[in-house]
Structure 1
């Protein structure tokens, strides 16, 4: 279990467009289809990472709560499935059902989208405003597997609440920490 931080790309960066297969519905999904009226959350996740497993319930809770408030959400899995078959599209579909994902769980088999977003780890969170400009990147909260802190989504929730309350999102953001994305050689 490696401890890889987010790359913390520049705030204001425009969300890279994509068209990826949703492993839940077996349909291609675009960024425009996911985009929320108030904002859009793009999460890089995978099935096997202990950091993702630690926060899965809170991720689902946030997506469900904030969807009602105008935020779109999607998760993208970009790991090399030839080396990590537990992250295959079939397993992604099972994982999404088990954890009741209410958002698309997209397969980035070429890894082009992870590179476009400069994603580094799982989980990695990118929150965009209503114009698809980056306003938050970094951690869900201070919880980590084994540190005794229960996931509450505090950092991400504060950013989303700032949008809802027409406040500027703080630029003091902590990188996410997780397993590195498993790049193809």
Structure 2
């Protein structure tokens, strides 16, 4: 699988609205439903990407660690399930249960939400502040599959702590990297 980097949406961009089907519960959820009082994490992921598999436990841990500090979280899969059936909604639910998601896992069937966020890879990570303005976008940490190191979430954790402390958005932000989103033809 080819390594693709995130597009680095401009800091300050307003969080694009969405309303999508949750694969863990029988409801549709929108941005208001997942928003945290102090900020919101939006993860674009899928079930089969080795970069997601490598980072998923830390992505869940970050969401859990900051949930009680007012940071909401949501994961969205936008992959073409006709050509990548491992990413189907039924498999998304199983993936979420296996990894103990404490946040919704939404299915972006028409891929419009991924396009609105300019998401390019999995995982693609966005952190919006309490006013829904993009504060951070980029990598979880510097570790990659095959590095011999576990994922520690250092970059994302530092960004969340800075945001909660009222500090300006970090000047240096590195793009996330992973498999490309599997676009429909």
TM-score range, shorter chain: over 0.9
> What SS does the aligned partner of 2:135 have?
strand
2:163 — aligned with what?
163
Is the counterpart of residue 120 in structure 1 residue 111 in structure 2? Answer: no
Deviating beyond 6 angstroms after TM superposition, the runs of 4 or more aligned structure 1 residues are none
| Map 1:97-116 → 2, pairs under 5 A | 97-116=97-116
The answer for unaligned runs of 5 or more in structure 1 is none
2:20 — aligned with what?
20
Q: Deviations over 1:124-155 (max 9, x none)?
A: 00000001000100000011110122101011
> Does the CA-based 8 Å contact 2:135-2:163 persist in structure 1?
no
Structure 1: distance between partners of 2:184 and 2:26: 24
The answer for unaligned runs of 5 or more in structure 2 is none
Alpha carbon RMSD of aligned pairs, Å?
Answer: 0.6
| Map 1:36-185 → 2, pairs under 5 A | 36-185=36-185
1:53 CA displacement: 0.3
> Does the CA-based 8 Å contact 1:44-1:121 persist in structure 2?
yes
How does the TM-score come out when normalised to structure 2?
A: 0.99
> Does the CA-based 8 Å contact 1:142-1:149 persist in structure 2?
no
Structure 2: distance between partners of 1:171 and 1:134: 13
